[in-house]
């Protein structure tokens, strides 16, 4: 995996008391929880940072960096890409409004209108 690639989400998400979950724009109270690592990567996948920056950020969360951190993050990214929840790019990626923030921070009517206009489909 090329750590110089940028990573960005392709799904709408929410931050809950228990972590991060996939959100349904038509029914915002309905969500699908994501496992810890998956949710963390989705919530950070803004298209403005590289995988290397993600590794650095995550390493800073620990008093001593776990030996397998990079390998673990690569595995998480691979799973999210395979599930079409995450994309990789060689350049910065600007997210559409409805993917840019957690659902609770969005104007839902604006988000729904832009989804329709863009032809976005839930992955």
In the chain, the largest separation of any two C-alpha atoms, in whole Å, equals 47
Q: Are 35 and 18 in contact (CB under 8 A)?
A: no
State if pTM tops 0.85. yes
Determine, yes or no, domain membership for 123: no
- Classify residue 46: in a domain, yes or no: yes
Distance CA 23, CA 17 (A): 14
What is the structure's pLDDT at 123? Answer: 55
Cα–Cα distance for residue pair 83/46, rounded to 1 Å:
17
- pLDDT one digit per residue (tens) for the chain, 123 residues: 999 999 999 999 999 877 899 999 999 888 999 998 999 999 999 999 999 999 999 999 899 988 899 999 999 999 999 999 999 999 999 999 999 999 999 999 999 999 999 988 765
**DSSP alpha helices (H): ranges in 6-104?**
36-44, 51-59, 69-82, 97-100
| pLDDT for position 76 | 96
Domain ranges, residue 24: 6-118
CATH number at residue 88: 3.90.930
Dihedral sign, CA of 39, 42, 46, 51? positive
In a domain, 59, yes or no: yes
Domain count for the chain, please give it.
Answer: 1
Query: Does residue 1 form part of some domain?
Result: no
For residue 103, list its beta bridge partners. Answer: none
């Amino acid at each position: 995996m090329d750590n110089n690639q940028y990573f960005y989400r392709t799904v709408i998400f929410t931050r809950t008391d228990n972590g991060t979950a996939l959100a349904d724009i038509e029914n915002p109270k309905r969500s699908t929880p994501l496992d810890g690592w998956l949710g963390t990567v989705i919530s950070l996948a803004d298209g403005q940072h590289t995988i290397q920056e993600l590794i650095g950020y995550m390493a800073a969360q620990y008093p001593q960096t776990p030996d397998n951190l990079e390998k673990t993050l690569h595995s998480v990214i691979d799973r999210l890409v395979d599930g079409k929840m995450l994309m990789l790019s060689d350049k910065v990626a600007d997210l559409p409004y409805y993917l840019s923030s957690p659902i609770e921070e969005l104007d839902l009517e604006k988000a729904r209108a832009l989804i329709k206009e863009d032809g976005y489909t839930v992955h």
